[in-house]
């Protein structure tokens, strides 16, 4: 069925509500818009589905949410009666339609005999992951689009371990979803009826208390907070998201007395009125906080994204300039702080492991090596870090210390299996207090790391390619790189080609060896002849973007940055970006 026929079927379906029908009638005659909304179905991948809010097969709406939930119900029921009884935990963030999508999910699961544990108000990703594990649920659903712009929402599915579904389980859910017609095969019941029958239960605040108590156990130097609590000030912003309650509470509980909150951004508003995008990677979102910091003599600003699984920080340098740290820099600070703290206390385990993704800074490896700690690389996506954590717990062969990715996601502790902005904020604040007791700022602590381990620099650049044309362009670009790979970049030969899709490593001379230990993924990595510099090409799994990741190290930060910029310019030129 072509996109026009699909559009007409939706428009004429008796299952479509009047508002949805009016939305489709409003685009009648707009061929480009109709095609964009109906040329494909919204993809359900290993991270669930994410898309622009609206009516159509390529949009996220109650109909796509119901169909996905029917697939999740089939997946849970396939595991037996005990799994259906254990049920599914449902959480949701502050985005537009998040509560509606959460309730629709509950209605479908209940109609299919699956018990539901529903949060009564917005909650963060780590609280959902923790809740699945604590309540012993068979699965979980989180309604969120993370740090995407306001036009988006999404649907993430978790397994019983509290981690995002691994590829094999996601394939089962996708197959189930594909087997259902979006209008004719989906069952749902009245939510109040489901609650009256006890199929849907509302989660008690006791779970929130357990989460906070568990997060607090990850403090490294609680005495540092006590030592500087009277004079130390920090600024926090939740970017209109779910971090507001748990983050403010955890900072209060561990003893911070002067936490200034950006009031304009401390509202649950899915339109994110104070920012272009609620992304802690973007400095523009911190403009209000930086003004506050200048007025109040504050050294560090911390911000969490709408579902509170990512954290960004702004620090004041020696010249009083407020600088946004990258996810790699914050991760390096946390790795050094945690390993050094444990070593000083004699609690650094011999089988300790730091986990990072393949696109995350190699500085973390240099730090870990200096402490005799192993580093494991996994594919991009925190679910792969979560899988390793579950593997460690089952085999009891390693002790997990910290996992992080360059995209501002960190997890310390084994209470969750996804990024946790609450524990990360707590530790960043504690770390800032600790260095304060040593007469240093976080910026100075970062300079100490560079002086100790070398000047590593990284850069991530995204190229947005929306719509059907963009999807085709991205596919063509990757195909072209595989067919005719670059041989020289910025005057340096490409000496190693790693294709995570074909699972091969090739040298410039043509020798090929297998890539072992990682699943297939549409990622290409190129190592240059200086033996320091690399770049990686990867299409985003959640947004219509091609991402470039570049990394190197040098004798100075300026030299490393210059190499990054020079390589980036040449790569962009060769790729036509």
As a whole number of angstroms, the distance between CA 142 and CA 63 comes to 17
Q: Which of 418, 453, 488 is the last residue of a domain?
A: 453
Instruction: State whether 10 and 92 are in the same domain.
Output: no
Tell me if 209 is assigned to some domain.
no
Active site residues: 146
Q: What's residue 433's pLDDT?
A: 98
Does any domain span residue 208? no
Residue 367 lies in a domain: yes
Question: What beta strand segments (E) does 161-229 contain?
Answer: 200-202
| Structural domain span for residue 375 | 215-453
Q: Does residue 541 form part of some domain?
A: yes
Domain shared by 412 and 505, yes or no: no
50 and 181 inside one domain: yes
What's residue 290's pLDDT?
Answer: 98
Whether the predicted model's global pTM rises above the 0.85 cut? yes
Cα–Cα distances in Å, from 539 out to 68, 106, 568? 24, 32, 17
pLDDT for 116-144, tens place per residue? 999 999 999 999 999 999 999 999 999 99
Residues 140 and 236 occupy one common structural domain: no
Tokens of 577: 């970006």
- 128 backbone dihedrals φ, ψ, rounded to 5°: -70, -45
Low-confidence ranges of the chain (pLDDT < 50): none
Number of domains present in the structure of the chain? 4
pLDDT value of residue 471: 82
* Domain endpoint, select from 173, 203, 233: 203
CA–CA gap between residue 373 and residue 42 (Å, rounded): 42
What pLDDT score does 193 carry?
98
Which helix or strand (DSSP H or E) is residue 429 part of? helix 421-437
421 and 292 in a common domain: yes
Look at residue 181 and tell me if it is in a domain: yes
State the pLDDT at residue 46. 67
Q: Are residues 57 and 191 in the same domain?
A: yes
558 within domain boundaries: yes
Last residue of a domain, one of 155, 183, 203: 203
| Contacting residues for 227 by C-beta, under 8 A, at least 6 apart | 433, 437
* Nearest-angstrom CA–CA distance, 69 and 455: 48
Is the domain of 312 the same as that of 344? yes
Give how far the C-alpha of residue 280 lies from the chain's centroid of Cα atoms, to the nearest Å.
12
Judgement on whether residues 284 and 410 belong to the same structural domain of the protein: yes
Q: What is the CATH number of the domain that holds 295?
A: 3.40.120.10
Whether 257 and 376 map to the same domain: the answer is yes
Domain presence at residue 210: no
């Amino acid at each position: 069925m072509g996109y026009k026929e699909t559009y007409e079927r939706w428009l004429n379906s008796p299952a479509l509500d009047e508002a949805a029908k009016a939305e489709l009638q409003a685009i009648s005659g707009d061929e480009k818009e109709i095609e964009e909304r109906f040329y494909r179905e919204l993809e359900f991948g290993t991270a669930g589905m994410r898309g622009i809010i609206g009516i159509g097969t390529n949009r996220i709406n109650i109909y796509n949410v119901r169909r996905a939930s029917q697939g999740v119900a089939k997946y849970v029921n396939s595991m037996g009666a005990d799994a259906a009884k254990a049920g599914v935990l449902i959480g949701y963030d502050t985005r537009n339609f998040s509560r509606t999508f959460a309730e629709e999910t509950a209605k479908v699961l209940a109609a299919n005999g699956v018990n539901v544990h529903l949060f009564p108000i917005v909650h963060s990703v780590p609280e959902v992951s923790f809740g699945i594990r604590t309540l012993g649920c068979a699965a979980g659903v989180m309604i969120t689009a993370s740090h995407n712009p306001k036009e988006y929402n999404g649907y993430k599915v978790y397994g019983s371990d509290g981690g995002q579904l691994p590829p094999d389980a996601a394939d089962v859910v996708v197959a189930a979803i594909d087997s259902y017609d979006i209008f004719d095969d989906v069952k749902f019941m009245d939510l109040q009826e489901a609650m009256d029958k006890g199929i849907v239960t509302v989660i008690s605040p006791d779970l929130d208390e357990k989460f906070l108590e568990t997060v607090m156990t990850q403090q490294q130097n609680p005495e540092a907070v006590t030592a500087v609590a009277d004079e130390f000030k920090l600024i926090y912003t939740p970017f209109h998201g779910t971090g507001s309650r748990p983050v403010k509470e955890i900072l209060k509980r561990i003893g911070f007395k002067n936490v200034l909150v950006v009031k304009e951004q401390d509202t649950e508003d899915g339109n994110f009125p104070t920012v272009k995008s609620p992304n802690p990677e973007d400095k523009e979102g911190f403009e209000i906080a930086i003004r506050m910091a200048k007025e109040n003599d504050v050294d560090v600003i911390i911000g969490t994204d709408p579902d509170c699984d990512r954290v960004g920080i702004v620090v004041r340098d020696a010249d009083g300039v407020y600088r946004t740290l990258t996810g790699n820099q914050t991760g390096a600070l946390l790795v050094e702080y945690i390993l050094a703290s444990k070593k000083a206390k004699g609690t650094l385990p011999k089988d300790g492991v730091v986990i990072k993704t393949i696109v995350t800074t190699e500085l973390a490896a240099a730090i870990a090596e200096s402490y005799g700690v192993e580093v494991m690389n996994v594919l991009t996506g925190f679910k792969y870090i979560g899988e390793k954590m579950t593997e460690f717990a089952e085999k009891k062969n390693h002790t997990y210390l910290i996992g992080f990715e360059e995209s501002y996601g960190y997890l310390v502790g084994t209470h969750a299996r996804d990024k946790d902005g609450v524990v990360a904020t707590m530790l960043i604040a504690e770390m800032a207090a600790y260095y304060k007791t040593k007469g240093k700022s976080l910026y100075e602590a970062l300079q100490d790391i560079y002086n100790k381990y070398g000047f590593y620099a990284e850069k991530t650049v995204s190229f947005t390619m929306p719509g059907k044309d963009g999807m085709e362009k991205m596919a063509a670009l990757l195909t072209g790189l595989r067919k005719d790979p670059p041989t020289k970049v910025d005057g340096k030969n490409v000496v190693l080609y790693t294709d995570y899709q074909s699972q091969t490593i090739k040298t410039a001379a043509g020798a090929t060896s297998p890539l072992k230990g990682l699943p297939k993924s549409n990622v290409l990595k190129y190592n240059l002849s200086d033996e320091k510099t690399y770049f990686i090409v990867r299409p985003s799994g959640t947004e219509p973007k091609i991402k470039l990741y570049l990394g190197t190290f040098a004798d100075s930060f300026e030299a490393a940055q210059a190499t990054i910029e020079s390589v980036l310019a040449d790569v962009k030129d060769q790729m036509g970006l």
